[in-house]
Amino acid sequence: MLEDRIYQDYVAALKAKDKDKSQFLSFLRSELKNRAIELKEKNLKDSDVIAVLKKQKKRLQDSKESAVSSGRQELIDNANAEIALIENYLPKPLSEEELASLVDEVIKDTQASSMKDMSRVMKEVLAKSEGRADSRKTSELVKMRLS
């Protein structure tokens, strides 16, 4: 499980005395624990872990953008390192071609023909992609195919 992998990497970072990595992984573990408490689950499913990781990645990208606008290089470097660490745990995103073929397949399967069917197509594509599809790109592609 993904949560176990994060824990193992956390322990390895502690043993290697990698302070930055261990602190960030500790933070991620606490976020995962909070999510488990919210869901009243003992162990999170990988899909829940991925959702938490994506949320943290988005938060880091936002803070990186504000650091860029204020010219704070140390914050930019820190955000980049943490984003890279999160990306180690996220599944590889679908390529443009894979996403396009998945969208076409779902449109064909659901017999979608108009923008009214967009939510149904989006829901199905995002479910089939198992967290590997970017919702913004998917939305643009579905709109283009249905209009």
34 pLDDT higher than 90: yes
Residue at 74: amino acid letter: E
What mean pLDDT do residues 69-93 have? 91
- Kindly report the number of other CB atoms within 10 A of residue 59's CB atom: 13
Give me the chain's average pLDDT, please: 90
What is the rounded distance in angstroms from the CA atom of residue 25 to the CA atom of residue 22? 5
Q: What is the mean pLDDT of residues 50-67?
A: 92
Mean predicted confidence (pLDDT) in 85-107: 90
The predicted structure's pLDDT at residue 32: 95
- Dihedral (CA of 24, 26, 31, 36) sign: positive
Residue 43 predicted with pLDDT over 90? no
Ordered structural domains, the chain, with CATH: 2-87 (1.10.1510.10), 96-146 (1.10.10.410)
Report the pLDDT value the prediction gives residue 128, as an integer from 0 to 100. 87
Which parts of the chain fold into alpha helices (H)? 2-15, 19-39, 46-70, 73-87, 96-110, 118-129, 135-146
Q: Which residue in the block uniquely carries the two structure tokens 């999510």?
A: 35
Residue with tokens 């779902």: 106
Higher pLDDT, 93 or 9: 9
Cβ contacts of 22 within 8 Å, gap of 6 or more: 10, 13, 14
Among 3-12, 55-64, 86-95, the range scoring the smallest mean pLDDT is: 86-95
| Percent of the chain with pLDDT strictly greater than 90 | 49
